[in-house]
Amino acid sequence: MKKKSLSVKRIKSKNLNFKKILKDKKILEIYRIFEKNFKNLNYSNKIAISISGGPDSMALCFLLSCFKYKNDKNIKLFFYLVDHGLREESYKEAQLVKKHLNFQNIHLKILKWVGKKPVSNIQSLARQKRYELIFNKCIKSNIKNIITAHHQDDLYETFFSRLLRGSGTEGLSSFFENEKKFIIKGKTLKLIRPLLSLNKEKLIYVSKKVFNFYLEDPSNDMEKFQRVKIRKLIYSLKDQGLDFKKLQLTLKNLSSTNKAINHIVDKNITENVIYSKNKYLINSNFFSLSDEIVFRSLSKLLKNISQRNYPPRGKKIMNLINEFANKDHFKATLGGTIIEKIHNSVVVIKEKTKKR
């Protein structure tokens, strides 16, 4: 990664001077937006923060530390950086970020990815591993909330990425939500994204003014990654007059539509699924609604029964629904569940985990 201001002198650590920093009108404006967003979220007294060393996560370090100083001194902040070990420079970079944060009495814990590294689909697998390491650390430390530095630019990039993949309203709008729940090893963890209304330009300003330091990911310029191509597409659309306020309104409308659909999905599951003797009995009315409602209802039901973080792939769900429509009797396993159709009823049970 490229480094911004790498001259790290050995000085005694010191607390951030929040009063002095907030005299900068632009930083004060940014902080007030963050403060308003964060106050509207439900957070616990122990919070984990995912750090990369980039300008967005460095800014997040300051904003959360400032929030604690001004609003809630009882919250405990735990800062984690995952060293993926995918590049030779990653160890030194992680230590550099730790040093800069320690200077401001922000104590960073580095988590290392140990083991064989992938040679393809690197960004996706690295992201999965990052969450895995941080989630496991949170479970051990009884931390229920994880905060990431996803910002407005990430929101737009994700929207266009999913649009090009042909995602429906759920995929297009899900990233718009500030909170997302995960179930890991029987524990519920909540991922919080309080920076979605702030763009990267503002976060870079904060990082420069507060820390005079951040890292730049070299992959941001590599066009072999789809996200980089989409980022450049967005810049091009911006030059052509793309109105981000209208795009924001589109995302808000999609999110509202998605919530309405989810309400119908929950009602369908509540009214047409019976739990008895460790079995879920689905009656024929469950499948009488529109294709989208049936698809989402079955996806959510299988996800809940299996207690996995994600439902089975959409194509497999569609194939299963077709089997229901065309066969009176069949049995299948999917996404950690066992499904059997007997005439007009469907029975689903959780698949037993094989002991190793």
Domains along the sequence of the chain with CATH:
16-242 (3.40.50.620), 249-350 (3.30.465)
Q: Is the pTM of this model over 0.75?
A: yes
- Which stretches in the chain have pLDDT values below 70? 1-13, 218-224, 353-356
Residue 90 identity (one-letter amino acid): S
Residue 236 has a pLDDT of 82
Cβ atoms 97, 215 nearer than 8 A: yes
By three-state DSSP, how is residue 177 classified?
coil
Residue 59 has a pLDDT of 97
Cβ atoms 214, 207 nearer than 8 A: yes
For residues 163 and 158, what is the distance between their CA atoms, to the nearest angstrom?
8
Residue 305 has a pLDDT of 92
Cβ atoms 257, 169 nearer than 8 A: yes
* Beta carbons within 10 angstroms of residue 114's beta carbon: 8
Residue 9 has a pLDDT of 47
Residue 5 has a pLDDT of 45
pLDDT tens figures, 34-45? 999 999 888 889
Tokens in use for 26? 């632009």
**Cα distances (angstroms) measured from residue 28 to each of 35, 81, 292:** 10, 27, 45
Q: Which of 149, 121, 152 is nearest to 225 (CA)?
A: 121
pLDDT tens figures, 137-194? 999 999 999 999 999 999 998 898 888 888 888 888 888 888 888 877 778 899 999 9
For residues 247 and 178, what is the distance between their CA atoms, to the nearest angstrom?
17
Q: Which of 349, 309, 354 is nearest to 333 (CA)?
A: 349
